[in-house]
Structures are given as structure tokens and as C-alpha cells.
């Protein structure tokens, strides 16, 4: 059940009156550059082959390139991947074909077991050198899966590989969210039979409960500096938005809605604002407010429900909107209120989370009551499954690491 479903157990939602329509715009696609990879060679078999295949897949998924085997191209990639004793050694050079300017020249070395990880790093280096934009291949994704029969937190690479289980609470786990440095995450668990918030240190494996107040404790999200979390608590009545200081434990209450509920906070990149969901107008809509408090400003009005916001490093907010009878993913510029739909209405799309490249979104796609994780290119329009069809169970609530 989605978090808003849990909150709805506590609060009765009334019907929303029709609000003024917003202006809808569509951002133009970015051009794709041809990248000649015919002069990047490698040994056949083993780690060099794994490296080459992973690198090509990462560059394709980046959306910035069409991989060519020769002929006319804007960029060219030269180098080789080969074993040097027990180590994998990679030489990589990238050039602007028109003026022969070298844009990248590096040599890398790792163990044969780390071929995939190294390929992700090299792919991000290539994207940065050729486009000036941050890559996403080296990042990771938190997600919720129920393949054990219980909803637990899992972790995988940005391409869906290296899936591993992080929690064994043997109950319902919800809404995992990364810290900015990727060393910690927070999530909601019913391991005490009540919804409490836990913080996990991935480096040490340590876990502690940071919110177990009476009632609902949910939707925790790290501030960009990692010192605080925004979260939803119902200890003083209806579910309201709070900020908790992780060093001293102090609480700051931001909202006080006697006949409504808040949910799903997400911080702006500079940490000065928080976007969240509230049904104070009748049905769930997005609002934004200063982290120091004040009057919230409503962001959405189209769609009977607008939920699951995530504020990307690109300053855009992604969220899902209930259109007709399905949830769809949208992207909004909160400064101009312009927005666009980035999914097609062939399924329910929920739980969107920005990649650090500001171009891709990971989300839940549900068809015939089965939920899987997909990656969306918001500029190119491609829809790519993260996990193979054979991966049993349902997968929801993905959250992309910030780096």
C-alpha cells in the first residue's frame, strides 16, 4: 500500500473542487551526438569483455550518444581493455573529431571482479568530458521488494545489477531515502508493529530508530547537508510535517492542519525549501514552503491527486498525478509552474526519483497488478526496465542516490 494509503486510514479525504488549470509546456529534446567506438579494442572473454559490454550499455543509456562503428561522428573513443597479470587495465582517450581536441585521456586499473564498477566510472568520465554533464552509471538505487514474502529494502546498481537485500525486518518496509553522500539511508518499518523511522549506515551496518513517537512516523528525507530529516509525524494529532535535528534530536513543527494530512516531503537542492503533499484543499496536492516555516504555496491543481514529489539537482520537481484512471509521471519547474508529462498512459507510473544527471527518472510501473522498476529518459522518451522480468515479486519505491 502506498504511504498515502496508510495516512488515509487516519484521515478522511473530502472531494476537491475544480481549480484553475495550469499552463502546460513541453521541453524540447536534446540532440544526440554520434560517438565512434570502433577504435576502442579489448581482449576477448573474461573481465575485458564484461568491461566493454557494460561501458557500451552505460553510454547508450546515458541518452547523449548514438554509438557508431566508424564513419562520420562528432566524437571518437580510442583505447583498450586488457588483463595485465591479475589486474584489468583500461586506457581511454576521447576526441572531438572536427578539431582533434583530446577531451579525455586516462588510464585505469582494477581487479577482474571490479570490471563492471570500473566500466560505470569510465562511462561517467566520458559523459562529463564530452557533454559537461554529470553521469549516472556509477550511482545506486534503493528499492522495496517482496520476493521473500515480506517488503524489505534492497540495493542495486544504476543498471539493475548487483541486487542485494539490506533489511530483514520480516514485515512492511517503506520509502527508503538516501543521504546526499550515499553513506546512509532512512526508511519506515513496521518491525515494532508500528510505523517508525530508522536510519541505516551502509558503511558500518549500524541501524537506529530516529522516530518512534506515538502514532505515525513516516516519509523521512535527508536534508542536503545530511544534518536533518524532514518527516511526517502524527504524535500531536493529524499527520504533519516536521524537521528533526539528527545531532541533538530536536523537532521543529512546520505545519498544523487540524482536518488534513501531510505526506512525502522532499528538500530543494539548496535545502531552503521543502515540497510535500497535503490534502488541505480536499484531495492530495503538492505544496512548497520554506524550511523555516511560513505559509505553504500550492503547486498543483491539474489531476485529482498529485503525490510522490522528488526535487532534483536540476531544480525541477518530478511527481505523479492521477489522470483519468491511472497515475502518470510529470516534471515541473516550480519557479515558472510549467510542467510536462513524461510517461505514456499505458500503465500506472508512481514513486518517481531523479537521477543525479537531471535527465533520468526511476519509477514504479504497474501492469496487471504486478509492479516493476523502470528508468525513464525525460528528454529522449525511452523506457527501460531496471530488473529482469524473471526477478520474482513486486518492486516499488525506488530512490536514486545523489552521487
The CATH number for 239's domain is 2.120.10.30
Q: How confident is the model at residue 30 (pLDDT cuts 50, 70, 90)?
A: low
What DSSP letter does each residue of 264-324 carry, written as one string?
EEEE-TTSSEEEEEE-TTSS-EEEEEETTEEEEEE---SSS-EEEEEE-TTS-EEEEEEET
Kindly state whether residues 199 and 124 are assigned to the same domain: no
> What is the percent of the chain where pLDDT is above 90?
85
Residue 353, pLDDT above cutoff 80 = yes
174: Cα separation from own chain's centroid: 15
Mean pLDDT of 119-137: 97
Kindly state whether residues 201 and 299 are assigned to the same domain: yes
Of 160, 149, 53, the C-alpha closest to 388 is 160
Instruction: Give the model's pLDDT for residue 314.
Output: 95
Residue 100, pLDDT above cutoff 50 = yes
Residue 281, pLDDT above cutoff 80 = yes
Residue 94, pLDDT above cutoff 80 = yes
Kindly state whether residues 66 and 110 are assigned to the same domain: yes
CB 314 within 8 A of CB 354: yes
Range of the domain at 262: 3-27+140-400
Instruction: Give the model's pLDDT for residue 88.
Output: 97
Instruction: Give the model's pLDDT for residue 5.
Output: 52
Instruction: Give the model's pLDDT for residue 156.
Output: 97
Kindly state whether residues 247 and 267 are assigned to the same domain: yes
Residue 27, pLDDT above cutoff 60 = no
Total domains in the fold of the chain? 2
Give the CATH number of the domain where residue 123 resides: 3.40.50.10070
Among 131, 152, 172, identify where a domain stops.
131
Among 87, 112, 131, identify where a domain stops.
131
What strand order describes the sheet that includes 196-201?
A: 173-178, 184-189, 196-201, 207-211
Sign of the alpha-carbon torsion through 40, 45, 51, 52: positive
Which residue is it, cell 488541505?
Answer: 280
Kindly state whether residues 155 and 58 are assigned to the same domain: no
Mean pLDDT of 37-62: 94
Question: If you average pLDDT over every residue of the chain, what do you get?
Answer: 91
Kindly state whether residues 214 and 277 are assigned to the same domain: yes
What DSSP letter does each residue of 114-158 carry, written as one string?
GHHHHHHHHHHHHHHHHHSS---TT-EEEEEE-TTSSBEEEEEET
Mean pLDDT of 196-219: 96
Residue 117, pLDDT above cutoff 50 = yes
Kindly state whether residues 387 and 243 are assigned to the same domain: yes
Kindly state whether residues 272 and 242 are assigned to the same domain: yes
Among 131, 163, 178, identify where a domain stops.
131
Residue 388, pLDDT above cutoff 80 = yes
Angle formed by the axes of helices 115-131 and 46-62, nearest 10°: 40
Kindly state whether residues 270 and 314 are assigned to the same domain: yes
Cell numbers describing residue 259:
482536518
Dump pLDDT digits (tens) for 289-318.
Answer: 999 999 999 999 988 999 999 999 999 999
Residue 10, pLDDT above cutoff 50 = no
Amino acid at each position: 500500500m502506498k504511504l498515502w494509503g496508510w495516512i488515509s486510514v487516519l484521515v478522511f479525504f473530502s472531494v476537491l473542487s475544480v481549480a484553475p488549470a495550469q499552463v502546460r509546456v513541453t521541453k524540447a529534446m536534446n540532440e544526440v551526438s554520434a560517438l565512434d567506438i570502433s577504435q576502442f579494442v579489448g581482449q576477448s572473454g573474461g573481465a575485458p569483455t564484461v568491461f566493454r559490454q557494460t561501458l557500451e550499455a552505460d553510454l547508450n543509456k546515458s541518452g547523449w550518444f548514438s554509438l557508431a562503428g566508424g564513419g562520420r561522428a562528432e566524437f571518437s573513443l580510442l583505447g583498450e581493455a586488457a588483463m595485465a597479470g591479475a589486474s584489468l587495465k583500461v586506457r581511454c582517450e576521447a576526441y572531438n573529431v572536427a578539431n582533434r581536441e583530446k577531451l579525455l585521456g586516462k588510464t585505469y586499473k582494477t581487479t577482474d571482479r571490479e570490471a563492471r564498477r570500473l566500466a560505470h566510472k569510465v562511462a561517467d568520465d566520458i559523459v562529463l568530458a564530452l557533454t559537461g554533464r554529470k553521469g549516472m552509471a556509477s550511482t545506486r538505487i534503493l528499492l522495496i521488494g517482496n520476493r521473500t514474502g515480506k517488503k524489505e529494502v534492497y540495493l542495486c546498481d544504476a543498471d539493475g545489477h548487483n541486487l542485494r537485500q539490506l533489511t530483514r525486518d520480516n514485515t512492511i518496509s517503506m520509502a527508503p531515502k538516501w543521504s546526499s553522500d550515499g553513506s546512509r539511508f532512512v526508511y519506515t518499518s513496521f518491525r515494532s508493529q508500528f510505523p517508525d523511522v530508522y536510519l541505516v549506515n551502509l558503511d558500518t551496518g549500524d541501524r537506529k530508530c530516529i522516530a518512534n513517537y506515538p502514532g505515525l512516523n513516516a516519509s523521512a528525507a535527508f536534508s542536503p547537508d545530511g544534518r536533518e530529516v524532514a518527516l511526517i509525524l502524527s504524535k500531536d494529532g493529524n499527520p504533519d510535517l516536521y524537521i528533526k535535528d539528527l545531532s541533538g534530536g530536536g523537532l521543529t513543527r512546520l505545519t498544523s492542519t487540524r482536518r488534513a494530512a501531510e505526506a512525502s516531503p522532499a528538500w530543494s537542492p539548496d535545502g531552503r525549501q521543502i515540497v510535500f503533499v497535503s490534502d488541505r484543499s480536499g484531495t492530495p496536492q503538492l505544496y512548497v514552503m520554506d524550511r523555516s516555516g511560513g505559509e505553504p504555496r500550492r503547486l498543483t491543481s491539474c489531476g485529482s491527486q498529485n503525490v510522490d514529489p522528488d526535487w532534483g539537482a536540476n531544480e525541477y520537481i518530478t511527481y505523479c498525478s492521477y489522470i483519468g484512471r491511472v497515475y502518470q509521471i510529470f516534471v515541473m519547474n516550480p519557479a515558472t509552474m510549467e510542467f510536462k508529462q513524461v510517461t505514456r498512459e499505458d500503465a500506472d507510473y508512481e514513486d518517481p526519483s531523479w537521477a543525479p544527471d537531471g535527465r533520468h527518472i526511476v519509477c514504479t510501473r504497474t501492469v496487471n497488478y504486478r509492479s516493476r522498476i523502470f528508468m525513464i529518459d525525460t528528454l529522449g522518451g525511452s523506457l527501460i526496465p531496471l530488473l529482469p522480468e524473471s526477478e520474482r515479486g513486486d518492486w516499488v519505491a525506488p530512490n536514486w542516490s545523489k552521487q
